[in-house]
Each structure stands twice: as structure tokens, then as C-alpha cells.
Structure 1
């Protein structure tokens, strides 16, 4: 068994900075490595920028006895380039451990991971907790909503998506559960061969666009209709 264990990591060597981290433990009980969450949300109650730092471990893929795996931690699932980078580094299964509530993200939950599995030709294991935590003191998030004592309902619904667009049934929305499923990693290569997404992608073009975008003088490539702004006589 290989275990992915999300932890709160305190970096005592660098000013006790706090990271949202996932540790990968190998099937012999050894620590293979860790990954720190790349994207920190600033959304409603989940304004984590006040205690977590953006990760600095890149997009590592861990070669285990059962395949090459990666961890796209929680909010990272909303960033397509995050999924892409794990795929470029050779991931066969990407795990997405999450703690997300219904009002915030449930409509997107069955879509984003499945799309990532298709686009990147790997399996995605979507994991979400269940239940509602109630705090002794009400709080607000500066969003104009009344003070409240909980984040909302964590809706579970964990499932696995495959690169051929198939998907397992989801676990319960209200109860803890255990999902066991077979993943034939040969399917990753078969789908790559069938669709050729890696062969037809234009990474050089994307890289050029991104290189321009991050510069202060970036201007969007917009071609306007010359008649759009023409003054009528």
C-alpha cells in the first residue's frame, strides 16, 4: 500500500512558515517525498493566504511500486495548467485531496477532474471530506454575508475518473466511505496513442503567450472590427 497523507507542515528552518503539504509514504513504510500546495484560495471563508504559503515544490511525480502518482492539492484543481504540468512530468494517477463545501464548488466537482483526466491522459482520484464543522464563535469573511459558525456542508462525493472519460460511481455525499477500484495504467498510453493530444499540442506557442503575459507591458492579441468604433456621420 502507498499512502498519501495530507499534513500541516511547519518549516522551522525558514521562519516557521506553514505549508499545506501531502506526504507520500511507500509500500515499505518509507517516505518517498512530499508536495506543497501550489495555489492558495482567496475565496469567501476559504481565504487561506493568511496562514498558508504558495508551495515551492513545483509539480513532482512520485514513482511508486504501483505507478507514477502526483498530488494536486484541493484548490489546485481549478487551475488547468496545474493539471497539465503533472501530466508533462509523467503522472499516471493524480490524487486531488480536498475539503470543499457544497455552496462553493459542488456544481464543478464532477466536471473539473474528469476533464483533467481526459485532457492529460491519466487517472484522477477526487477525494473530498464529508460533514459540517461548527465553531464556538461566529465569524465573517468580509463578503457582506451575516456572521456564521460553520463553513457549510463538505459534500464528499469522492470518485475516480479515467482518461477515456469513464468514471466510477461517487461515494456518499453525507457519510464517510471507502472506494476501491482497478486502474489499468495501460489505458493512459492507449488514450495518448488514440487521440495524440501530446503530439498535436502547441507547447511552444503556449509558452510564448505565457512569457508575454507575465510581462508588465503585455497587450492581449485582440483584432477589432474596424467598423466597430467608426463614428456614424
Structure 2
């Protein structure tokens, strides 16, 4: 069996239609994925730029007083373009060109909030153990090249765009940061709260753990938050975004196949159920190779994509490809957040005061 296959491809190739429907009911939470068709021009563009397209809808119950709060989300996963030994400016420009093509497709399909993958505008060199060699990829969150590039597209399409970057501040401290731009306006940023030190991913050697808490950004389309990569392993991280009012939480990531792929599809889905919001999991894709300066050792990292969206009722989309660039669109109704919270009563039964007391006693 090819390692490039997704779970959906394995299922479709080995089950009949009746079995597939039953699998979908149990695993995905509904028999029908509620697929949305793309415009012919988008399909042509996706073939030209070799981008996988997928789109699904999530419906809420019709209400007498409240109107539907429909929002179109876009998740982008992509590989780097040039070898990592090419000039930095060339590498970044090539990625900019690729991402702009994908965002153009998203805009033509009416996407209103779009999230890119973790440190999208550079190779994920953090596995090399080297810092100085790559320092020029670090940039200002407020006016760096990635922010300027995304700001123009956000303004052009009246779109909210989440742009995860490697930030350097005025004190030359590095941060793993997600910048939020709404219709060309800088709304703010979130810095990654939890940093891994597992295997070759020793991110504590590069930047500091986040110091901005759990901000929720009130955009023109809804209240959003960003839980960057490793933060998804921490249940309280998700909880705090919920307590601060998030309706959609994005999880931009850069995760390799041997680093937790078996629970990639579980954690954000659990968080959506427990907290009554939509979760959007974005993982980079492709193979990245690095040659270390000191010993000429080659380091290769393979990312498995598989981006997906989960609704607060636990229903989720199929994942994007494990090997291809992709755009996943979700048409959601934010009324579903409140409806599910009312149905399950998790906020009412959460007993936060009890946990707060016990956690303080453990300090």
C-alpha cells in the first residue's frame, strides 16, 4: 500500500457503497459529506497550478428569530518550491507566487476567512539545529514582507487571512507567530504558547514561548483564534480560546509523519466537541531537505498534509491529500456553535471553579 494514500482513498478502494456510508456515519459523523461543487474556472486553475480542491458544508438547525451566520473558510496546505540552498529571497518569492495562486482560487469561491500553514513563507528549518544561517527568514509581524504581501491580498478580496510566520521583535527575540489581517487591516497576533522539544524539533532553541495568552480576534465574519501546531496537544490551550469567546480556532501546523500522525485527526476534533467551536487543522505538505553547515549531514523531513475541518457536533471533513498542495473550503453556520453548546450543556456543567481551586493547590 502506498504511503501517499489517505484514509478516504483506502476506504473507497476496499468497501462497497453501503459499507462506505456506514463508515462515514461512524467515523465522520454523517453519511453524506455535503460536498460543494467548484466553479469550472477554479477547477481549471487548480489543474494548472496542481492544487487539490475540496469543499464541504456544515448546516445548523433553522431558527425562527436568528438568521443563519454563514461563513466560508479556506485552509491552505502547500510544499516549498525551491531547494533550501537557493537564495532566501528567491525561496520566499517562489512561495509567495504559489500561495497567491491558491488564494486567488479561494477568493473566486467566496472564501471569507483563510488560514495558511505554520511558518508558511519559509522551509521549516527548525529541524537542523542551526539558527544564524536562517536568521533572515525572521521578520516583523507588523510590517515584514509576509505581512505586506498578505495585507494586499486581504484588502483586495475583503478577506480575513491568518499568516503564521517566524517573528523577530524589536529586541531581536524570535517568536512563532500568527498574524491576523482583516480587509487589509492588522488586527493583531498570537504567539505559540507551547514549544516542542522532541527529537529534532527543539524549538526552544530558536524562540521564546508565547507571552500574549489566548487572544480572540473579532473579525468582520466571526470570532477567531489560532492554536499553533504543538499547542493542540494541550487541552487547556483549546479551553482558554473557548472561554475567551472563539467560534473558530485554526491550528496551523508543520508535522511530520512519524510525529503523531495517528492522533492528528483526533485532537482538534476532540477540542471542537469539548469546547463547542469549529476547528480547522492545517498541516504543511511535501519533502524538505537540508544540508547542515558544520558536518554536511543531510536532513530530510516529510510532511503529511491531511488538513481537515471539524464542526462542534463532532462531524468532520475528509482530509486533504498527504502529498499534494491543497485548498480545503468549509461553508459553515456559526449558529451551530451555540446550538451544540445548548444541546450538550458543557459550559453549564464544566465546574471550572472546582478545577481552578485544585489547579491552584497543585502549584
TM-score (norm 1): 0.85
2:314 partner SS: coil
Equivalent pair of 1:45/1:151 in contact (CA under 8 Å): no
Name 2:174's counterpart in structure 1.
18
* Aligned residue among 329, 341, 352 for 1:203: 352
Gaps of 5+ in 2: 1-158
Equivalent pair of 1:136/1:149 in contact (CA under 8 Å): yes
Name 2:343's counterpart in structure 1.
194
Question: In the TM superposition, what is the alpha-carbon distance from 1:213 to its structure 2 partner?
Answer: 1.5
In 2, Cα distance between equivalents of 1:174 and 1:149: 21
1:51-70 deviations in Å (ceiling 9; x for gaps): 11010100000000111000
Distance verdict in 2 for CA 1:96–1:171, change over 3 Å: same
1:192 partner SS: helix
Question: In the TM superposition, what is the alpha-carbon distance from 1:33 to its structure 2 partner?
Answer: 0.6
TM superposition outliers: structure 1 runs of 4+ over 6 Å: none
Name 2:132's counterpart in structure 1.
none
Distance verdict in 2 for CA 1:56–1:151, change over 3 Å: farther
Distance verdict in 2 for CA 1:198–1:36, change over 3 Å: same
Question: Given the alignment of the two structures, is residue 9 of structure 1 paired with residue 158 of structure 2, yes or no?
Answer: no
Question: In the TM superposition, what is the alpha-carbon distance from 1:121 to its structure 2 partner?
Answer: 0.2
1:10-44 deviations in Å (ceiling 9; x for gaps): 111xx3110000000002x0001111110111111
In 1, Cα distance between equivalents of 2:236 and 2:297: 34
Name 1:110's counterpart in structure 2.
265
Name 2:325's counterpart in structure 1.
176
1:91-150 deviations in Å (ceiling 9; x for gaps): 00000000000101100100000000000000000000001111123999xxxxxx9633
- The equivalences for 1:7-86 within 5 A come to 7-12=165-170, 15-27=171-183, 29-86=184-241
Report the structure, 1 or 2, having the larger helix content: 2
RMSD between superposed Cα atoms in Å: 1.6
1:171 partner SS: coil
1:169-189 deviations in Å (ceiling 9; x for gaps): 111000010011111100000
1:164 partner SS: coil
Between the two proteins, the alignment pairs up a number of residues equal to: 205
In 1, Cα distance between equivalents of 2:193 and 2:342: 30
1:182 partner SS: strand
In 2, Cα distance between equivalents of 1:207 and 1:92: 23
Equivalent pair of 1:139/1:149 in contact (CA under 8 Å): no
In 2, Cα distance between equivalents of 1:139 and 1:170: 39
Equivalent pair of 2:160/2:181 in contact (CA under 8 Å): yes
TM-score (norm 2): 0.55
